Amino acid sequence: MKSYLAAAIQMTSLPDLHKNLTQAEELIDLAVRRGAELIGLPENFSFLGDELAKIAQAETIALESEKFLKTMAQRYQVTILGGGYPVPAGNGKVYNTALLVDKDGNEAARYEKVHLFDVEVPDGNTYLESATVVPGTSFPATYPSKDLGVLGLSICYDVRFPELFRHLAQQQTEVLFVPAAFTAYTGKDHWQVLLQARAIENTCYMIAPAQTGWHNSIRQSHGHALIIDPWGTVLSDAGTEPGFAIAEISPNRLQQVRRQMPSLRHRVFV
C-alpha cells in the first residue's frame, strides 16, 4: 500500500439515469484532476427518486451503471466504487448492489446490501426499502490492492451494524467504503458520529460518498460526504453541495494509529 488521494463523490441524483451519469462523470473528472486514484460514488448514484420508475427501468439502469463504471475506470485509470444501483433479482425486485472496478475496467468486488432501510423516521416520512429490494445474504467482499490497501465494502444503513465492519476488519481491511443516501433528518444527528465510531473501533480509513439535497418532492439527503482517518479525525467534508471530499490515505498513519491503539489485537470475544 502506498500513500494516495481518495475522493468521496457527493451528488444530487434524480430519477433520470443519463443526467445522473453526466453529473457523475463531471465530478469524477474533477476529482481525477485533483489527483484522486480511488473514487467512490454514492448509493443510488445512477437513479434516485420514484421507486416504481426505478423498478420499471432496473435492467437498463443496471446495464448502464456497470458499463459506466468500467468505462470511467479505464478512461481515467482509477479504481471506482459505484456505491449502489439496482440489479434485477426477479419477482419485480432488485438487489441494491455496490460494484468496485479496478483501473483496467475489471470487476474487483461486488456486494449486495444486506441491511434494508425499513424505518419510520420521526420527521413523518416512512421508508420501506424491502418493498422493492431483496437483501443480500453474504458478508461484504474485500479487495486486496497492492497500491490502495485492502478495501472493504458496505452500503448506507449498514453503518449502524458494527458486526459487519468488525467482520471486514478481521479480513485485514484498511479502507472502508460507506456510500450512502442518508436522510436529512437522521443524517444531522447520526451520520458523522457513526462513521467516526466505525473508523475508531476498527482503526480503518472511512470513505463515505453521499447524496445531498432534494431528489423529488419528499426525499431529501443529508450530504456531507466524508473521509475519516483511523483515529476518527475528519480529513475532508464535502458540505451540502454536489462535489467531493478528497484526502490522503496514508499507510504510515494507519500503522501509527494501530501501534498506538492496538485494540484489534486485544479482542477477547471473536
The parent domain of residue 126 ranges over 4-261
Q: Is residue 37 part of a domain?
A: yes
Q: Is residue 268 part of a domain?
A: no
Q: Is residue 269 part of a domain?
A: no
Q: Exposed, middle or buried: residue 33 (CB in 10 Å: 0-12, 13-18, 19+)?
A: exposed
The CATH number given to whatever domain includes residue 240 is 3.60.110.10
If you write DSSP's letter for every residue of 66-103 in order, what string do you get?
A: HHHHHHHHHHHT-EEEEEEEEEEEETTEEEEEEEEE-T
- Which candidate in 43, 66, 112, 174 is catalytic? 43
Catalytic, 156? Answer yes
- Which candidate in 66, 156, 174, 204 is catalytic? 156
Residue 226 neighbours by CB under 8 Å, 6+ apart: 8, 191, 192, 195, 206, 208, 210, 234, 236, 237, 238, 245
Catalytic, 204? Answer no
C-alpha cell at 146: 497492492
Reference 124, options 182, 183, 180, 181; nearest CA is 183
DSSP code of 267? -
Task: Name the pTM for this structure.
Answer: 0.97
Coil vs helix vs strand at 66: helix
- Which candidate in 64, 113, 174, 204 is catalytic? 113
Coil vs helix vs strand at 236: strand
C-alpha cell at 260: 498506538
Catalytic, 19? Answer no
Domain count across the chain: 1
Q: Is residue 241 part of a domain?
A: yes
Per residue of the chain (270 residues), give pLDDT as tens: 999 999 999 999 999 999 999 999 999 999 999 999 999 999 999 999 888 899 999 999 999 999 999 999 999 999 999 999 999 998 899 999 999 999 999 999 999 999 999 999 888 788 999 999 999 999 998 999 999 999 999 999 999 999 999 999 999 999 999 999 999 999 999 999 999 999 999 999 999 999 999 998 888 999 999 999 999 999 999 999 999 999 999 999 999 999 999 999 999 987
C-alpha cell at 11: 451528488
Q: Is residue 267 part of a domain?
A: no
